[in-house]
Structures are given as C-alpha cells and as structure tokens.
A and B are shown apart, each in its own frame.
Chain A
C-alpha cells in the first residue's frame, strides 16, 4: 500500500537530496560534458568565500527582522480581530489579501511604490522634504525588503494565531474578569500563554520559508545596492543560474538545508517542551 507513495517521495525528495550531495563533490558546470570529481573543492570554495558569510549575515538580519516584525504585528492583528464582535470573517478575509499575491508581484508592486521617478511612497517622502532613494540606498534597502516580506506574510501569522485564539475557552477569561483583570492582563496571562504552541507553529513555518524566498528581492533590488540585500538564497540562485556552477550551488544549498533543519529542530523542541 505504501509503496507508490514511497516511490513518489523518493522521486520528488530523496533523489534531489542525494543528487545535491553528489553534485557538491563534483566539478559540475552546466556547460561541461561530464562532471569531474572535485573532492572538497566546492565546500572549500563556499566556506572560504567572504560573500558566503556576508550573505548568511544578511540572511540573519532579513529573517530575524522579518520574523520579529511579522510575529509582533501578526499577534496584534489577530488579537484585534479576536475582539471584533461583528464582521470578523470579512475583515479576516480582506486582511488575507496580500497572502494571495505571488511574491514576484509583491516585489513588482513595492518596486513601483518606491520607484524614485513615479513611486507613490517616494513622492510622499519627497513632499516631506526627504530625498531618499529607498531601494538605491544601502541604509534603507534591507529595511525595505523586510517590509515587503512583512506586508505579505503577516496575515499568515495572524490567521494561525487567530485560529488558536478561537479555541481558547471562555471560562478562564470570565474568571479573570470576575477577579478584576484588565484587558492587557487577560491577553498577557491567559490568551498568549494559551496560544503559544500556535505561535511556535507559525514561527516554524515562516522561518523555513523566509530562508528560501528570493522572489521579492530578485525583482526589487537584485541583491543590491552594494550587496546590501544579497541574502543566501539570492546568492545561491546567482551561483546556480548566472554562474551555472552546479557543484558550488549544491554545496551552498546543503548549508541552507542544514540551517533549516537545525531551525526546524529547535522549534519542534520548543513545541515539545510546551507539551510537557
């Protein structure tokens, strides 16, 4: 019974995984007739390249900044929706709209909004006397791409947390009210602790995603200016498709897989400790 699904799993998941391991030890460029064994050359090249470590550093800022902002906003919006007596579903649906936008379109949308010539937001800034070129300035480009990710993915956190909030029983909240707890205290000591597992699930899903998403950055900044937004996923794409260095890209991809796995394990551990 399980055999067909195992075969499909092997085809779509295990084969690429083992192929990546194989490719990471090969001198393997797209224009080569036959890959050649390269030992640890690709790994050495990847791990000793400044760009690799710098890209991981920027990825930490991008993922960390994005996740913190999304989490804070997502929980806030979920609590807001939870407290709405009417039309909650309507508001929820409308707030979900950015989720349905393809990341490439998100990149395009924000590039237009921030465009120095005809961008709406840029126009506002100019009217305020601020001649800032957001996507062309190293100081603002990273916050801008984080903002794009936050805009698109905050609703996902919201929907997961809201789902958790809706399962919270009324009794503890009513008891707290009888004891004279104010709104903030109910959120702080009852609601948030009761949805902690959902928050961890949301973080798990988003942290896996944010490490690999490059679409928005590809469209909005192409890793620039001055590499300010070159995160590891974009660097990998450059090595694989622009430089056509499959061996180097495989080694890079495996480092991403290792980090993703470690992050995933961390969040699963947190979830288990919550259960305990």
Chain B
C-alpha cells in the first residue's frame, strides 16, 4: 500500500502539539487552604533571649523572656516517652510548616519521634474519619477543624482536661486563659464546655486586601466625582464597596486606571470559599443560617430551622449577586488561592481574603504588589459587620493508648505554647496566644509596617486588621453543627447556580433553606 509523506508531516505536527502540551505542565501546590501559601521559610525570628538553665527546667534549649514557659512538675522526666513515635495529620498551614521545621527541638527534648503529615483539609477529614470509625490510632494528633471535623467527631477526641489536670504531667503553659478566648471556645469545645477537645492552633480570618497605590493615586479624582474619601477602612459600607469597584472598572475601561484590571475579585468558585465569601455579606445584612443561638462558637447538635428565607438573607443574596457582576470574571473559578494569585499578579484593586495571604503578597518571588497592599476589616452592611473566622485546633485521638496519649500531650502543649508560636512567627504564623501579642517585636511590627521588625514577619501588615476582625461585633463564625459539611456543600452549590444566572437570589435562599431543613429534620 502506498503511504503518504503528508501523513508523516501531519503526525509530526500532532505529536509536537501533544508533547508541548505535556511539557508545559508546571508543578504547583494544589488549592488547599487559605493559609497554605503563606508559608515560605522556617527560621526563628529571634533567638531565645535567655540562656538555658538546666536541662530539667529547660529541655527546649532556652526560653524567650516575657513569655510563659513550658513548666513540668518537679522531677518530671521529659525523656520518659523516648522511643515513642507520634503521627500528626494536619492541613498544610503555616503553623504546620513552622512546627515541621522546628520539630527537632521537641524530638531532642523528649526523645519522641514526630511524623507530621501535611495534606489538604479534605484529606485530613477523610483520614481522620476513617481512623475514628475503625477506632484506630494511626494518627495520634489530629487537626481538628471545628466545623468540618470537631462538630461531627467530637466524641472521638480525648478530653484534654484529663491531661491538663493530671498532676504528674506538664500543664498548658500560660493556662487556657492565655488563648484568645473566642477562638478557644470555637476551636476547643463542642456543645458545652464540659470537655476540652482541642487547643487553638491557627486562626486565618477574612479581611479586606486593597491596593494602597491605586487608592492613593486616584483618591482626589474619586473624591471629586463621588464626594467622599474612598480609602477602605472601618467606615466603608458594602454599598460604597460596590460603588468603588464599579468606578474602578469604569476607569479601567476608559484607560484612566492602568495599575489593575478590575475593582474587586472574589473567591466564588463552587467551593467552600464561596460560602465563606458570601457569609461575610450575609451576616452584615443581618442574615443568619439557623435559629439556634451561639451556633458559631460553642456549637450545637440541633441548629433549629434555617433562616435563609428571611428578608435580610434574601437582600444579602441580591447584593452579593449584584456585586459579583462587577467582580473580575475569573472570580467564579477562584477559590482563596486563585484569588490570591490574581491579586498578587496585580489584577485586582480590592479583595476580601484570608489575612494569612499577606505573606504571599509581600513575597517578591510570588507577587507583583510587594509593598502596595493595605489591609483593613471588611465593609459593614445595614445590620453590622462580619469577618469570617477560619481557625482550627489540634486534639488527641481518643483511641491512642494511654502512654501515647501522654506523649501526644507533651507535643500538644509544646506546639501550642507561646514560646513555640513566637519562634515560628517568621513562617507566616498568626499567634493564638495573648501573651505573644504583648511581645515588643510583634507590637513594633504591627504598629510600624515599615520597621525592621515588620520585615521579619510576613503577616505583620495584615495582623492589625485581623485583630480588629476578631473583636466582638466584627468576627463571624459559621454554624458549628455536625451536618455542616453537607450544609456547606448545599450553600456553595446553590450560590454557584445563582451566580451562573440559573436561579434568582430569592429562590437560591429558599432552596438552601429547604434543603437545610430537610437535612437537619426541622
């Protein structure tokens, strides 16, 4: 049979296309958590300021003065669990990277070997669930996301009070009262405060990132046209936010503004991120997911009826739908990481984003907006303000043998201690302890973003906004109920349909309410 050379050339072209496609693959970390990309390096921000005393009172090689120390009962043998191996499963967040980089300190002090497995939150949920269901102890220490894990699996966690009250063991340094209290309630308890299941570990919170350079440069022009100072701050309302975003879009189209492409960007992919982004608006408009009180902090088994068909919730959905029409078109395909990448690429002037991304924005290797990003709390709505809190605790698997439980306790108190938190500040870690915020380094970094201290800390620029966001009346905590993973999925799926124009905001809220009530049997 006669075979054509033309066929050969065509095959070469096809082959080249496929090979080029395959070669253009660029490995990158998968969308994981709001905080994952903030982690860059892991060296201590400051060496311990005091010399070690004796190995008994100072097994960790020196204390940072001014912070509570990890203290043990007299004669406590830190090496009594030497040879034990602890498996930790955690989301790939800055504290996890920081601890992994400094784990040698703990291992040297105790002789305990620690394996830290850092994965996506979905994988933590799946693996912890399988471990608990089989009553296994593959993982001794578990990243206890309060909404996705703790609310559903609290009974599988060890009551940490039993270990903290054990006179033969070291206690929580600085005591429970040194943890930011609202975070301790949300991360540590479920339903009531009888049992303590986890200790606060990280605390990403949604605040507003904006381009300082854009807002400074066009301030007068906006003032002239609209009659008010447009700089994002505590007084900004969601209506103003919308107006500012639309104005920037207009000026970009006219070729006046060239620094960015869009006024606002959102994490509105069909993903947990969409629920987070929307909830900020929902709560500030006075909308609530369920009837039950204190559902966000202490949590409950029965949330009551859904309140999403209230006029406030519908108004919030209508506003959010309107706002997203002004948002960068990529918003519907971005989760928090996608949004951060777009913001770091200089495309967006404003974005409600997790504060831990400030490390990404200030990293010259991943950002075109270094030194140009300002942070403030999210705008207020007709009924208040809401900044979504996304913190998590760490707890101990109840099915771990008693000896290993004690070894895990040593790890837990070390990992969440003010001393350790202070030492991993420079990986983009946000302390969960009051005492760490009292340290001069942090105070100076937060009060003066241009200081040398601020340069050492990737999150310095957003920490002030985050702290403001945690105040009562500003912070928002999503419902902590066992069926939250399902409700969350319903919320972001139906919202995604709304944004795609497949259903009205009112119908969306009614549909979520209907499905939620069916699920919660209310």
Q: Do A and B come together as binding partners?
A: yes
Q: Which residues of A contact B (CB under 8 A)?
A: 30-32, 77, 80-87, 91, 94-95, 97-98, 101, 105, 108-109, 112-113, 115-118, 120, 131, 133-138, 151, 155, 170, 173-174, 177, 183, 186, 219, 221-228, 238, 241-244
Q: Which residues of B contact A (CB under 8 A)?
A: 1-5, 7-8, 10-12, 14-15, 18-19, 21-22, 24-28, 30, 122, 125-126, 129-130, 132-133, 152-153, 155-156, 269-271, 328-334, 338, 341-342, 345, 347, 482, 485-486, 489, 493, 496-497, 499-500, 502
Supposing A109-B25, A117-B345, A225-B270 touch, asked if A243 and B486 sit within 8 A by C-beta, the answer is yes
Supposing A225-B269, A227-B497 touch, asked if A241 and B122 sit within 8 A by C-beta, the answer is yes
Can you list 10 A-B pairs with a CB-CB distance of less than 8 A? A84-B7, A97-B19, A97-B22, A101-B25, A108-B27, A108-B30, A116-B328, A138-B502, A170-B1, A219-B30
The residue on B at minimum CB distance from A158 is B14
Contact A98 B22 (CB under 8 A): yes
Complex-state Cα separation, A97 to B25, whole angstroms = 13
Number of A-B residue pairs with CB-CB distance less than 8 Å in the complex they form: 166
* B27 neighbours in A (Cβ, 8 Å): 108
* A227 neighbours in B (Cβ, 8 Å): 270, 493, 496-497
The residue on A at minimum CB distance from B488 is A242
* A244 neighbours in B (Cβ, 8 Å): 129, 152, 485
Contact B28 A91 (CB under 8 A): no
> What are the 9 closest A-B residue pairs judged by CB atoms, nearest first?
A224-B270, A136-B333, A116-B330, A136-B332, A226-B500, A83-B7, A226-B497, A109-B25, A30-B129
CB distance from A121 to the nearest CB of B (A): 10
Complex-state Cα separation, A109 to B77, whole angstroms = 52
The residue on A at minimum CB distance from B340 is A117
Complex-state Cα separation, A91 to B21, whole angstroms = 15
* A30 neighbours in B (Cβ, 8 Å): 129-130, 132-133
Contact B5 A223 (CB under 8 A): no
Contact A242 B11 (CB under 8 A): no
CB distance from B148 to the nearest CB of A (A): 9
Contact A226 B1 (CB under 8 A): no
Contact A118 B270 (CB under 8 A): no
Complex-state Cα separation, A81 to B485, whole angstroms = 50
Residue of A32, A84, A134, A138 touching B8 (CB-CB under 8 A): A84
Complex-state Cα separation, A247 to B259, whole angstroms = 53
User: Assuming A94-B19, A115-B338, what are 6 further A-B pairs, CB within 8 angstroms?
Assistant: A31-B152, A77-B11, A97-B22, A112-B24, A137-B500, A244-B129
Residue of B1, B10, B338 touching A80 (CB-CB under 8 A): B10
* B271 neighbours in A (Cβ, 8 Å): 222, 224
Interface centre among B22, B130, B489 (most CB of A within 10 A): B22
* A95 neighbours in B (Cβ, 8 Å): 11, 14-15, 18
CB distance from A120 to the nearest CB of B (A): 7
Complex-state Cα separation, A118 to B15, whole angstroms = 25
Contact B15 A94 (CB under 8 A): yes
Contact A85 B25 (CB under 8 A): no
* A226 neighbours in B (Cβ, 8 Å): 270, 493, 496-497, 499-500, 502
Contact A113 B125 (CB under 8 A): no
Supposing A31-B152, A91-B15, A241-B122 touch, asked if A116 and B329 sit within 8 A by C-beta, the answer is yes
CB distance from A83 to the nearest CB of B (A): 4
Interface centre among B15, B28, B30, B499 (most CB of A within 10 A): B15
The residue on A at minimum CB distance from B4 is A83
Supposing A91-B15, A118-B341, A131-B329 touch, asked if A224 and B28 sit within 8 A by C-beta, the answer is no
Contact B345 A109 (CB under 8 A): no
* A84 neighbours in B (Cβ, 8 Å): 3, 7-8, 11
Residue of B5, B152, B338 touching A85 (CB-CB under 8 A): B5
* A117 neighbours in B (Cβ, 8 Å): 330, 338, 341-342, 345, 347
Complex-state Cα separation, A85 to B1, whole angstroms = 10
* A241 neighbours in B (Cβ, 8 Å): 122, 125-126, 129
* B333 neighbours in A (Cβ, 8 Å): 115-116, 133-136, 221, 225
CB distance from B311 to the nearest CB of A (A): 25
* B122 neighbours in A (Cβ, 8 Å): 241-242
Interface centre among B2, B5, B21, B271 (most CB of A within 10 A): B21
Complex-state Cα separation, A84 to B24, whole angstroms = 27
* A131 neighbours in B (Cβ, 8 Å): 329
Contact A177 B1 (CB under 8 A): yes
* A115 neighbours in B (Cβ, 8 Å): 330, 333, 338, 341
* B500 neighbours in A (Cβ, 8 Å): 137-138, 225-226, 228
* A86 neighbours in B (Cβ, 8 Å): 8
* A242 neighbours in B (Cβ, 8 Å): 122, 125, 485-486, 489
The residue on B at minimum CB distance from A87 is B8
CB distance from A59 to the nearest CB of B (A): 17
* B11 neighbours in A (Cβ, 8 Å): 77, 80-81, 84, 91, 95
CB distance from B152 to the nearest CB of A (A): 5
Supposing A84-B8, A85-B3 touch, asked if A136 and B269 sit within 8 A by C-beta, the answer is yes
* A83 neighbours in B (Cβ, 8 Å): 3-4, 7-8
Interface centre among A133, A135, A136, A228 (most CB of B within 10 A): A136
Contact B270 A222 (CB under 8 A): yes
CB distance from A133 to the nearest CB of B (A): 5
CB distance from B84 to the nearest CB of A (A): 27
Complex-state Cα separation, A177 to B489, whole angstroms = 62
The residue on B at minimum CB distance from A219 is B30
Complex-state Cα separation, A135 to B334, whole angstroms = 9
Contact B18 A112 (CB under 8 A): no
The residue on B at minimum CB distance from A97 is B22
CB distance from A149 to the nearest CB of B (A): 14
Residue of A31, A108, A118, A225 touching B25 (CB-CB under 8 A): A108
Contact A151 B21 (CB under 8 A): yes
The residue on B at minimum CB distance from A135 is B333
* B30 neighbours in A (Cβ, 8 Å): 108, 219
Complex-state Cα separation, A87 to B482, whole angstroms = 61
Supposing A30-B130, A136-B333 touch, asked if A223 and B7 sit within 8 A by C-beta, the answer is no
CB distance from A249 to the nearest CB of B (A): 12
* B338 neighbours in A (Cβ, 8 Å): 115-117
CB distance from A236 to the nearest CB of B (A): 14
The residue on B at minimum CB distance from A94 is B15
Contact B132 A133 (CB under 8 A): no
Complex-state Cα separation, A244 to B270, whole angstroms = 20
* B22 neighbours in A (Cβ, 8 Å): 97-98, 101, 109
CB distance from B124 to the nearest CB of A (A): 11
Supposing A80-B10, A98-B18, A135-B333 touch, asked if A112 and B1 sit within 8 A by C-beta, the answer is no
Residue of B132, B331, B489 touching A243 (CB-CB under 8 A): B489
Complex-state Cα separation, A112 to B21, whole angstroms = 11
* A109 neighbours in B (Cβ, 8 Å): 21-22, 24-26
Complex-state Cα separation, A95 to B20, whole angstroms = 11
Contact A31 B1 (CB under 8 A): no
CB distance from B411 to the nearest CB of A (A): 25
Complex-state Cα separation, A151 to B24, whole angstroms = 14
Residue of B18, B133, B341, B499 touching A31 (CB-CB under 8 A): B133
Contact B8 A133 (CB under 8 A): no
The residue on A at minimum CB distance from B21 is A151
